[in-house]
A and B are shown apart, each in its own frame.
Chain A
Amino acid sequence: MIVRRWVDGVDERLDGSSFISRNLRKVFPDHWAFMLGEIALYSFLLLVLTGTFLSFFYLASDEPVTYTGPYQPLQGQTVSAAYDSVMRLSFEVRAGLVMRQIHHWAALVFMGAIIAHIIRVFFTGAFRKPREISWLIGIGLFLLGIGAGFTGYSLPDDALSGAGLRIAYSIILSIPFVGTWLAYLFFGGEFPGPDILNRLLVLHIFIIPLAIFTLLGAHLAVVWHQTHTQFRAPGRTEDTVTGTPVWPKFALKSIGLALTTFGVIALLGGLFQINPIWLYGPFVPYSTASPSQPDYYIGWLEGLLRLWPDWEFHVFGHTIGELLLPSLVVPGLVFTILALWPYLEARASGDHEWHHFAQHPREAPVRSAFGAVGMAFFVVLVLAGGNDVVAKFLGIEVDSFNTILRWTLFLGPVLSGSVTYWICRDLRDRPRHPMAAPPRVTFRRNAAGGFEEIESETPVAGRPSEERDRT
């Protein structure tokens, strides 16, 4: 058979037989939560595929041209060549619009899957030794994803993305000592800057994807080498991993998941309009779209800007503006704490052992409480990032909504953290998880007509899903 001949040929040239069989027989544990990272991986592949198509049509130029395409409301208007090229891609290139919308939706799914994956790894303690490297790489990928998203949606040079770029320029400007120089070097001069679209393009289609590819490769290699964590179950030990072999069962499932992810994102891209730049209009520096919101994974940064007080500082005749703290210092701190969490936790708990068993959130109430604090913090900030839209929806003034949000930003995390801690501790201290199947007891009728117990199985603490698996 041809496959066997191929393996034979590889072995004769690369001495690869043991490598092939070892890796094809490698065991991958099953758990639905492992899908999250895979979905992130596959959305990235889809981003590369659709993005390559888009890059064949995009023109990174602020050269003014007259729009003459089929979209009537803009006909005769002066727009940049970049905006014109995206309009052409959307309205005149066959399958262009669906590709563009799939690309944008894939970016939203990519970031969502990364966030869900980070949350899963955090709450199950899967970042503990020896997996700190994967965690650090993962946080790096999250940051790169934010960068990829921002540089990407800034490319069409529409009114909405122009506002985002203007804010980014102002944030760079606010850096002490070197901010002015950095902003001028990155934008090529004073805003809007002659070279910015070209630089965004190089970042978006070369530098950031290359970095993501590299880190993703390392992330997967480390996971492959270290094996997955697993929940505790009868018959499982710290030293073993139980699951299905890579080939063919796991591979088919995973390829199936990849294609299904592609399909769902394609459906979103086909049916749900996203980033309709023709409705926003071309970017002009003297007008701002209202309301203007960034994509959600940047929404929390926008929310920080909206809620932050009007603090401006003066030191030795210099100015530190209102933007530095909320847009650079606070996010920097948040990401530092997030990245260092495995080390902080090991230090606080004094636990420097290896852990191959994943934990349930209830097994680590303090960690889970901190996780809940972080999640509440992010949720409030994302709401704040769309405060005008949400306030309008709720029918209240933006100003009073801001007051509510400021209080919630402090009280929400405290409340969610305390409740989580209380629930986790309560569950941990119960002998049996309330949602677990009742222990199975087998009786036998004896000669006297009564019943005697012959076999009892006490469920392992809190393994509801495992209980179901075995039935």
Chain B
Amino acid sequence: MRRASLVVAIAFGAATLAALGLFVVYIAGGQPQVEGALLFVALAGIGAGLMVWATRLMTGIGQITQSRRHAQPPEEKEAAAEAMAGGVEEMSRRRLLFRLLLGAAGALGLAAIFPIRSLGRAPGASLFRTEWRPGLRLVDVDGNLVTRDTLEVDSFTTVFPEDAVGSGDSQAVLIRVQSGSLQLPADRLAGAPDGYVAYSKICTHAGCAVGLYLARVHQLRCPCHQSTFDVLNGAQPVYGPAARALPQLPIEIDADGTMRALGDFTAPVGPSFWDLPP
């Protein structure tokens, strides 16, 4: 008993000192580690003191047994059911009024739904197109023009349309591989000149930016769920949960080396949605 009260006293004393210490630390400019440690002593000091007090010093209060409440006697239940059902019956006796009330409440509920429409704009065709238009030049994250000489073989960069740098849905990866190593159908190959090929950077699985390029195996990998796409073969998925290929951005190279888009991506970018045609 004596030892327990000593422990409680020490705990409360330490808590007081720590709380005073917090003043000092705060006035001195604050320091997260010290603040955390002092808060611990201040709070847990009082807490531990109280717990020791309750368990060791309140020995006079022993275990008590009380009865648990049970369900009410049957006649009470009966009376409650009667009171509840009686009210409903009273109302539903006037059938027409009751139905009109339900109708009015339903209509009001419906009217209350409409403001939800104001929360966002209609999707329309926005998921089917991006900012890319024929003739737009490719620029990098900083807005610098991307040219034939920007990339070494087996390297890549993120590109945007010149008028939409940083755009969420127009982001694309431009990769340079050995000229002639791409295995694309003829119409797609025309949009990938001299070993330069561009794909949407939005993963078709869950929409993360496909940011890892494994140059040795020519694969793009998404860091979120490890969907992996074969760059040489039209960015078809070769591993992971993605089912669809990354859409290709057809590009051309001007005589002076400037790169331009030939049009929008070959398919809607990003993850699947209900209205996406198979």
Quick check: is B185 within 8 A (CB to CB) of the other chain? no
The verdict on A289 contacting B26 (CB below 8 Å), with A174-B272, A248-B54 known, is: no
Q: Indicate whether B211 reaches chain A with its CB closer than 8 angstroms.
A: yes
Taking a contact as CB atoms under 8 Å apart, the answer to whether B241 and A255 are in contact is no
A173 partner residues in chain B, CB cutoff 8 A: 270-273
> Which residues on B sit within 8 Å (CB–CB) of A256?
46-51, 53-54
Residues facing A in B12-50 (CB within 8 A) are 26, 29-30, 32-37, 39-50
Q: In the complex, identify which listed stretch (B146-154, B164-172, B188-196, B253-261) lies at the interface while the others stay far away.
A: B164-172
Question: Chain A, 331-367, contact with B by CB distance < 8 Å: what is the 0/1 string?
Answer: 0000000000000000000000010100000000000
* Of B73-81, B92-100, B103-111, B117-125, the one with at least 4 CB within 8 A of chain A: B117-125
- Say yes or no: is A26 at the interface (Cβ < 8 Å to chain B): yes
CB neighbours of A305 from chain B (8 A): 205-206, 225, 241
* A181 pairs with B270, CB closer than 8 A: no
Q: Give me the 8 closest cross-chain CB pairs, A-B, nearest first.
A: A270-B36, A321-B272, A263-B44, A259-B47, A256-B50, A263-B43, A290-B223, A260-B47
Contact of B30 among A95, A236, A260, A319 (CB under 8 A): A95
CA distance A236 to B65 in the complex (A): 8
- CB neighbours (8 Å) of A271 from chain B are 33, 36-37
Stretch from A109-117, A142-150, A182-190, A431-439 that touches the partner: A182-190
With A175-B274, A185-B120, A267-B40: A306-B63 Cβ-Cβ less than 8 Å = no
Q: Is the CB of B237 within 8 A of A185?
A: no
Q: Are A101 and B32 closer than 8 Å at their CB atoms? A: yes
Nearest chain A CB to B37 CB, angstrom units = 6
Q: Judge if A399 is at the interface, Cβ distance under 8 Å.
A: yes
Not counting A188-B120, A263-B41, a sample of 5 additional A-B residue pairs whose C-beta atoms are within 8 angstroms of each other reads: A101-B36, A195-B120, A263-B39, A266-B40, A399-B239
* Minimum CB distance partner of B244 in chain A: A312
A193 partner residues in chain B, CB cutoff 8 A: 120
Q: List 7 A-B contacts (CB under 8 A).
A: A95-B30, A102-B39, A184-B122, A250-B54, A259-B50, A263-B42, A270-B39
Pick the contact of A320 from B44, B141, B158, B272 — CB < 8 Å? B272
Which of A132-140, A161-169, A203-211, A460-468 is found at the contact surface with chain B?
A161-169
Q: Which residues of A contact B226 (CB under 8 A)?
A: 306, 387-388, 398-399, 402
Chain B residues positioned under 8 Å from A192 (CB to CB): 168
Report A209-241 residues with CB < 8 Å from chain B CB.
225-227, 235-236, 238-241
Q: Say whether B68 contacts A356, CB under 8 Å.
A: yes
B70 engages A166 (CB within 8 Å):
no
A256 to B55, CA, bound (A): 11
Task: Report whether B44 and A264 are in contact in the complex, using a CB–CB cutoff of 8 Å.
Answer: yes
The residues of B that contact A262 with a CB separation of less than 8 Å are: 39, 43-44, 47
Contact between chains at A163 and B224 (CB < 8 Å): yes
Q: Is the CB of A322 within 8 A of B47?
A: no
A309 to chain B, nearest CB (A): 7
Residue of A26, A175, A245, A356 with most chain B CB atoms under a 10 A cut-off:
A245
Give the total of B residues in contact with A, Cβ under 8 Å. Answer: 83
Asked whether B112 is an interface residue with its Cβ less than 8 Å from the other chain, the reply is: no
Q: Which stretch in A69-77, A280-288, A408-416, A422-430 binds the other chain?
A: A280-288
Indicate if B7 sits at the interface (CB-CB under 8 A): no
Whole-angstrom distance from the CB of B240 to the nearest CB of chain A? 7
Cβ–Cβ < 8 Å partners of A390 in chain B: none
A94 at the interface (CB under 8 A from B): yes
Are A184 and B121 also in contact (CB < 8 A) when A191-B168, A310-B243, A314-B278 are?
A: yes
Contact residues in A for B48 (Cβ distance below 8 Å): 256, 260
The answer to whether the Cβ of B209 comes within 8 Å of any Cβ in the partner chain is yes
| Residue contact B273 to A321, C-beta cutoff 8 Å | yes
Inter-chain contact B47/A180, CB cutoff 8 Å? no
A171 interfacial contact with B, CB 8 Å: yes
Q: Which residue on B lies nearest to A267, using beta carbons? A: B40
Which of B37, B70, B121, B127 is in CB contact (< 8 Å) with A188?
Answer: B121
Q: Which of A288, A318, A398 contacts B208 (CB 8 A)?
A: A288
Among residues of B, the one whose C-beta sits closest to the C-beta of A289 is: B223
If A258-B47, A288-B209 touch, whether A267 touches B272 (CB-CB below 8 Å) is no
CA distance A319 to B243 in the complex (A): 11
Q: A257 interface residue, CB < 8 Å from B?
A: yes
Q: How many residues of A contact B (CB 8 A)?
A: 103
| Residue B186, interface by CB 8 Å | no
Is there a chain B Cβ closer than 8 Å to A392's Cβ? no
- Assess whether B273 is in contact with A180, with CB atoms less than 8 Å apart: yes
Interface SS of chain B: loop
Say which residue of A95, A227, A317, A388 sits within 8 Å of B277 (CB atoms).
A317
A187 touches B120 (CB 8 A): yes
Q: Does A298 touch B at the CB level, under 8 Å?
A: no
Question: Is B54 in contact with A167, judged by CB distance below 8 angstroms?
Answer: no
Q: Is the CB of B68 within 8 A of A310?
A: no
B241's partner among A175, A235, A308 (CB-CB below 8 A) is A308
A87 interface residue (CB < 8 Å to B): no
Q: Is A34 an interface residue (CB 8 A)?
A: no
The answer on a CB contact under 8 Å between A249 and B50 is no
Q: How far is the CA of A264 from the CA of B242 in the complex (A)?
A: 43
Cβ proximity bits A84-119 to B, threshold 8 Å, 1 near / 0 not: 000000000011011001100000000000000000
**Which of A167, A195, A252, A308 is within 8 Å of B224, CB to CB?**
A167
B63 near A288: Cβ-Cβ < 8 Å: no
In Å, the complex CA distance between A286 and B209 comes to 5
Cβ of B201 within 8 Å of any chain A Cβ, yes or no, is yes
Chain A residues contacting B187 (CB-CB under 8 Å) are none
Q: Does B69 contact A (CB under 8 A)?
A: yes
Residues on B with beta carbons closer than 8 Å to the beta carbon of A323: 205-206, 271-272
The interface residues of chain B lying within 8 Å CB-to-CB of A176 are 274
B271, A189: Cβ atoms under 8 Å? Answer: no
A61 located at the interface, meaning its Cβ lies under 8 Å from any Cβ of chain B in the complex: no
A323-B205 Cα distance, complex, nearest whole Å: 7
CB distance from A399 to the nearest CB of B (A): 6
Docked CA distance A188–B119 (Å): 6
Beta-carbon contact of B121 and A253 below 8 Å: no
Q: Which residue of A lies closest to B63 (CB)?
A: A242
Whether B72 sits at the interface, judged by CB under 8 Å, is no
Q: Determine which of B166, B167, B211, B241 lies in contact with A310 in the assembled complex, contact meaning CB atoms within 8 Å.
A: B241
Kindly state the separation between the CA atoms of A341 and B176 in the bound complex, as whole angstroms: 56
- Quick one: which of A271-326 are within 8 Å of B by CB? 271, 284-292, 302, 305-306, 308-312, 314, 317-323, 326
Asked if A27 is at the interface (CB within 8 A of a chain B CB), the reply is: yes
Q: Which residue of A lies closest to B49 (CB)?
A: A256
Question: Which residue of A is nearest B34, CB measured?
Answer: A270
Is A451 an interface position by the 8 A CB rule?
A: no
Measured CB to CB, the closest approach of chain B to A353, in angstroms, equals: 12
Q: Are B241 and A322 neighbours in the complex by a CB distance under 8 Å?
A: yes
A239 contacts across to B, CB distance below 8 A:
67-68, 70
